[in-house]
Amino acid sequence: MTPRPSRRPIAATALFLRGMAAIPWFDYFRQSYLINSRFLSDSIETLEAERAAKERLRFIARQFSDAMSPANFAATNPEALKLALDTKGESPHPGNSPAHRGCAKGLISTTDESVFELGKNLAVTEGAVSSRMS
């Protein structure tokens, strides 16, 4: 099974899907991922629903499929496994991961906070709670 063309191709997933076809175990994950993603997408298309509802479901299905790609998991990503072998296990070391660095600070961020400087490119103003739900 080949992946469907996407409006927004995911480079890591596409690269991963090409690289894992040669190894039977990884090919199983690739085929399972593609079959399940297509099933989810096709199921949404067969629903009788309003256009807006279908669009929301398509968006959610794409997000879910992208998140569940085997490329996102070290154990099912041959490139990640190869990198771990090449670096003698240092690549997945907790200190190398932005998520682990965020956990050490007590928060997880997708932004490089070192580029922001208070008063230069980041503004802070006094605020007030405008509505409080009890």
pLDDT tens profile 7-57:
444 445 555 555 555 677 778 888 899 999 999 999 999 999 999 999 999
Which tokens belong to 56?
């929301």
For residue 70, give every residue at least 6 positions away whose Cβ sits within 8 Å of its Cβ, in sequence order, or none: 16, 20, 26, 29, 30, 33, 76, 77
* Helix-, strand-, coil-residue percentages of the chain, each rounded to 5: 60, 0, 40
Q: Which of the given ranges, 27-36, 56-65, 86-95, has the highest pLDDT on average?
A: 56-65
Per-residue confidence (pLDDT) for residue 49, from 0 to 100? 93
Beta strand spans in 1-134 (E): none
Q: What is the CA radius of gyration of the chain?
A: 21
Per-residue confidence (pLDDT) for residue 58, from 0 to 100? 95
pLDDT, mean over the chain:
78
The pTM (predicted TM-score) of the whole model is: 0.55
Per-residue confidence (pLDDT) for residue 4, from 0 to 100? 56
Which tokens belong to 59?
């968006």
pLDDT-derived band at 118, boundaries 50, 70, 90 = confident
Q: Where are the alpha helices (DSSP H) in 71-113?
A: 78-86, 98-105
**Tens of pLDDT, residues 121-131:** 887 777 776 67
Helix (H, G, I), strand (E, B) or coil at 118: strand
Backbone dihedral region for residue 73 (phi beyond 0: left; psi -120 to 50: alpha; all else: beta): beta
Q: Please state, in angstroms and rounded to a whole number, the distance separating the CA atoms of residues 57 and 16.
A: 26
